[in-house]
Structure 1
Amino acid sequence: MLFDSTLALFATITTAIVLEAAPFLLLGCLLSAAFEVYAPADGLERWLPRSALGQTLAGCFAGILLPTCECGVVPLVRRLLAKGVPQRTALAFLLAAPVANPVVLASTWVAFRGDLPLTIGRVVCVLIPAVIIAMVYGRLPAHKLLRGGVDLNAAVGSCSVAGCGCGHEHAERPKGFFAGLRAVLTGAGVEFLHMGAFLIAGAMAAAAIKTFMPADWLHSMAAAPVIAIGSMMLLAVLLSVCSEADAFVAASFVSFPAAARLSFVGLGPMVDLKLIPLFFAVFSRRLALALCLIPIVSVFFTALAFHALFGPGVGL
């Protein structure tokens, strides 16, 4: 009887997280597919600022106009660089766009019950490493940022679905309203099914920890801010939940301080098990290491600062 009730609790928590997050994941997939179909990157560089700071800031906030999640951002940035977009803009976009966009901000706001400090803190978590990497590595020519002779199709897998948001150069763009709409819906459906698997896995992992881990272990981890933040950062890397849905997974860890949950939603969109192999496959080894290490260090200290400013109760 006890076993049945435990399984029922596990299933209830998993279902609740998935149902809350799925609409935002679907909306993000639709926007990403619509961008791929209707807004090619050609000529984008003509609209960007000339100054280094302007190019960096444009990349940091380009996600407002070009929403994307971390699932497809690496090949998209590779494509932007190939189209002549300034390196600072592309690198800032790489780290910031999966969070600094309307879909993710809305999902974070809803998941954390309208908590403004946590929502803003999440943006700060990605902007700091985005600016650092863009300003330091954006001075290098594009060919030095990329791994020599990289074949993007081999790195991320081939794709034949128009509108999938994968960043590949598809053979033919759909012509006409209904053809474009069909491409958007098809691409969004494929992406939603693919990323839905990560969402379900993340929800199940969160539910398993809350259901099966002894309460005293969980409380001891949550009681020490440094341990709590480090644990949630490690969990973010391992679970690899899409940025449009990860706030609902983080919000389910109600016994952890707000700073620890902030570290989860701050680091995951920049460094996870999906992104790390792509970084080393597409970018130079030096840049790939920076893309892994700088966000980890930055998010850790940003979360500690958040804890010092707001304490453990924010977002509970």
Structure 2
Amino acid sequence: MIGFLNDFRTMVIGILLESFPFVLIGVILSALLQTFVSDQTLQRFIPKRTVTGILFGCLLGIVFPLCECGLIPVVHRLIRKGMPPYIGIVFMMAGPVINPVVYASTYVAFQSHPEVPLFRILLAFAAAAVIGLWAAHSMGESALRTPSSAITESAAAAVSQSAKRKQHRMNQAVPRTHWLHQLHETLEHAAIELFDVGKFLVLGATITALLQTVVSRQWMLSLGEGEGAAHLFMMALSYILSICSTADAFVAVTFSPDFSFGSLLAFLVFGAMFDIKSTLMLLKVFRAKTVFTVMAMAAVVILVGSILVDQLYY
């Protein structure tokens, strides 16, 4: 029992230490967007057409090279500032894969197979594009936990409260430079966002560690026997392990002697889009029906794509 608790504690701490820096970067970027980027400025850069919007969402990870944990608070903030939800969904699906940091880590892990990072990007792009086409025509404000109209009212109230606090400080003749005020506002937004996202990260890390501690690795490997079963198993394993997309390639390469190229791709792409902790964090932004519909669509596209890669390429 003591050994189990020690393993469980070590696993929880390890997941949190791996994920927390990226979440912290994400909430800081989110706070900077809130403080320094106006709604009008952001909306000038957002494409109006669906196809260009999907392409924009797929490639946005090059500008924000974050893993799935760090991306969620950024996308949440972008949607609050006027980004269409379907572009936010595409960004969250493609961003953890289509970014230079993940490409480099995948290339280093699979040095003997330099085509792996390219196929990973192509499969992630295909899945995100399919999801984006569906979301653009089927997903409205009802997909969000908080409709944009309510967000606007909340933002207006926050602005009003901020103005009152500012006036109060001026009345008290408290000297405060403009940059110091912006720094204070940025840190305030970051702290609020970190608390909102952090509780889901801790819950996800706890569930993930429990599953990894209780479930036998040998039993899991036995489930992967067979072509289609191997792909499904690797997708399920990536979901359970909840490894950051910047490091999951180093775990995937350890399975290369026993699993096909396509099943490794399924692990690399699906795990970057969805895992236990990111699912819980996504449920903070989107309604459960939307999250699980997107998850099912991603699973189907990745499964079919990874099997085709095995049949056509290898």
> Would you call these one fold, judging by a TM-score over 0.5?
yes
Query: Which position in structure 1 is the counterpart of 2:255?
Result: 253
Query: Which position in structure 2 is the counterpart of 1:266?
Result: 269
Q: Which moved more, 1:232-241 or 1:70-79?
A: 70-79
Query: Which position in structure 1 is the counterpart of 2:295?
Result: 292
The number of aligned residues is: 270
Q: Where is the helix percentage greater, Structure 1 or Structure 2? A: 2
What is the percent sequence identity of the aligned residues? Answer: 28
Structure 1 runs not aligned, ≥5 long = 1-13, 151-168, 312-316
RMSD: 4.5
User: Are 2:285 and 1:282 aligned?
Assistant: yes
Query: Which position in structure 2 is the counterpart of 1:230?
Result: 232
Residue by residue over 1:129-161, the C-alpha shift from the partner in whole angstroms, topping out at 9 and shown as x without a partner, is: 3212222222457522213579xxxxxxxxxxx
Residue by residue over 1:261-294, the C-alpha shift from the partner in whole angstroms, topping out at 9 and shown as x without a partner, is: 1111110121211122334443234322212101
User: Are 2:59 and 1:35 aligned?
Assistant: no
Rounded Cα–Cα distance in structure 2 between residues aligned with 1:81 and 1:291 = 17
Residue by residue over 1:35-87, the C-alpha shift from the partner in whole angstroms, topping out at 9 and shown as x without a partner, is: 34655554222112221111110001100011221113333322211111123
Task: Report matched runs for 1:136-147 at 5 Å.
Answer: 136-139=134-137, 142-147=140-145
Q: What is the one-letter code of the residue matched to 2:281?
A: L
Query: Which position in structure 2 is the counterpart of 1:74?
Result: 72
Larger Rg: 2
User: Are 2:101 and 1:103 aligned?
Assistant: yes
Rounded Cα–Cα distance in structure 2 between residues aligned with 1:219 and 1:146 = 37
Residues 56, 114 of structure 1: CA spacing in aligned structure 2 closer, same or farther, 3 A cutoff? farther
Rounded Cα–Cα distance in structure 1 between residues aligned with 2:136 and 2:144 = 12
Query: Which position in structure 1 is the counterpart of 2:154?
Result: none
Residues 142, 74 of structure 1: CA spacing in aligned structure 2 closer, same or farther, 3 A cutoff? farther
Residues 142, 67 of structure 1: CA spacing in aligned structure 2 closer, same or farther, 3 A cutoff? farther
Contact 1:137 1:287 in 2 (8 A): no
Rounded Cα–Cα distance in structure 1 between residues aligned with 2:145 and 2:20 = 33
Tell me the TM-score normalised to structure 2 length.
Answer: 0.67
Structure 2 runs not aligned, ≥5 long = 1-9, 149-158, 163-177
Residue by residue over 1:64-112, the C-alpha shift from the partner in whole angstroms, topping out at 9 and shown as x without a partner, is: 0112211133333222111111233212102111111111111111111
Tell me, what secondary structure is at the counterpart of 1:243?
coil
